[in-house]
Amino acid sequence: MAERVGIVSVAQTKYSPKRADVNEEELAYEAIKQVLEDTGLTLSDMDSAVTCSQDFWDGRTISSMNIQHVVGAHLGHEDNISEDGINAVYAAMGQILSGHQDIVLVEAHTKESQADKSLVENAAFDAIFMRQLGLDFTSAAALQAKRYMYRYGLTAEQCAMVVVRNRAHAKNNPFAQESTDITVDDVLSSKLLVSPIRLLDAKPISDGACAMITIGRMIL
């Protein structure tokens, strides 16, 4: 049984507003191929795979089924963690620390461009009490932001400064989707989505994938 878990390789694709040139499995394999080449391992070396996807975004029930072959899980072991990347990493760690697996491939992907964002996000809310309100993540975040600004006396200008800072930091990340220079005035004059959130406050629609290989200490 491994006492510690090592992350031996991590890769990600460039994030894009629309990757119509590839399907989900092709997009996922772009990241998987990088970690395999980096480590010299093959898919047959993997004891297990943990995938992270979401049925609504992929447009199918059991969204991991269409990428079994690119994670090496055909007739093998695979766990799917729906739309929660950090829990996918924890699941891989758990498999290794349990002693059941030694080498685990973690993969996550999404193609937000191929679905209606508001409808997909609305499905995340409680079906009985919340979903019929028509909330999506942006409108829910707007309610929280409005309350936060009221409670702590923040101004729209201060919030816009965070956006400017984060976009500037993104210029240091070659995989970042939004890395242009903007000003506070640019943020405040962008389209109002749900008060107080404007277009440049909100995250963009993104298509992308990432992969990771985790190994138990006894293998290192």
The residue range of the domain holding 186 is: 118-198
- Are 122 and 168 within one domain? yes
Q: What is the pLDDT of residue 61?
A: 83
User: Does residue 73 register a pLDDT over 60?
Assistant: yes
Expressed in angstroms, the distance from the first to the final Cα of the chain is 13
Q: Say how far residue 181 (Cα) sits from the centre of its chain.
A: 24
Residues of the chain with pLDDT > 70, as a percent, come to: 97
Secondary-structure breakdown of the chain: helix, strand, coil percentages, each rounded to the nearest 5: 40, 20, 40
- Are 211 and 194 within one domain? no
Cα→Cα distances 133→34, 142, 150, Å: 43, 14, 23
Cα→Cα distances 51→26, 85, 87, 112, 188, Å: 14, 9, 10, 17, 38
Checking DSSP bridges between strand 5-12 and strand 207-216, what pairing results, if any? antiparallel
User: Does residue 116 register a pLDDT over 80?
Assistant: yes
Cα→Cα distances 98→4, 101, 171, Å: 11, 7, 40
- All residues at 6 or more sequence positions from 165 whose CB lies less than 8 Å from its CB, including other chains: none
Q: What is the pLDDT of residue 66?
A: 86
Model-level pTM?
A: 0.87
Handedness of CA 95, 97, 101, 103 (dihedral sign): positive
What does pLDDT average to over the chain? 92
User: Does residue 60 register a pLDDT over 90?
Assistant: no
Q: Say how far residue 138 (Cα) sits from the centre of its chain.
A: 16
- Are 94 and 138 within one domain? no
CB distance 157 to 186 below 8 Å? no
- Are 210 and 193 within one domain? no
- Are 27 and 133 within one domain? no
The residue assigned the tokens 């890769």 is: 11
CB distance 106 to 116 below 8 Å? no
CB distance 142 to 194 below 8 Å? yes
Q: In whole angstroms, give the CA distance from residue 164 to residue 25.
A: 34
More confident residue, 65 or 27: 27
User: How confident is the model over 110-117, as a mean pLDDT?
Assistant: 92
- Are 81 and 188 within one domain? no
- Are 30 and 108 within one domain? yes
- Are 10 and 107 within one domain? yes
Structural domains in the chain (count) = 2
- Are 13 and 95 within one domain? yes
- Are 22 and 98 within one domain? yes
- All residues at 6 or more sequence positions from 192 whose CB lies less than 8 Å from its CB, including other chains: 198, 199
- Are 210 and 107 within one domain? yes
User: Does residue 82 register a pLDDT over 90?
Assistant: no
Q: Say how far residue 194 (Cα) sits from the centre of its chain.
A: 23
The CATH number that applies at residue 83 is 3.40.47.10
- Are 46 and 98 within one domain? yes
